[in-house]
Amino acid sequence: MPLVVLNSGDLQKKIHKNKELIEAFHMSVEEDWVKGEYLFLLTDIEGDLLDVKCSTKEKKCIKNSGFEPGVSFREESCGTNAISMAMRLKRVVYVRPKEHYCDITLLLTDLFQSRQRRRFILSQF
């Protein structure tokens, strides 16, 4: 489980600050994609999780995994992961299933909007 989780007040501030990004995320992730076995994570520039999109089946699977808004994916919070690596390396990062702490495949791409770096994560179980 991650060591750093935003309190509800700080999370609400980040959600408000990133409202347009979250709306773009919702419009970008097609409903057909979340019917499959995919998990989409949206983090801010600091690696804090803002939103999650996935099927109902995956929501049940990840309910107790810590993938919820407010969780920090910085390395000091939850160890080396695709998000923390991409933040450090400033490039696309792919973590193979055998190299990951859990049995998921992560592909991280960067989205640049309004001169700020934003991150989308595509995960496949």
37-84 tens-digit pLDDT: 677 889 998 999 999 887 766 676 666 676 789 999 888 888 888 888
Strand duo 93-95 + 105-113: pairing: antiparallel
- pLDDT attached to residue 3: 78
Tell me the pTM: 0.73
For residue 20, the model assigns a pLDDT of 93
DSSP 18: T
Cα distances from 13 to residues 26, 27, 85, 90, in angstroms, run: 19, 21, 25, 25
CATH of range 8-124; options 3.30.830.10, 3.40.50.1240, 3.30.450.40, 3.40.30.10:
3.30.450.40
Domain boundaries, the chain: 8-124
pLDDT at 16 over 90: yes
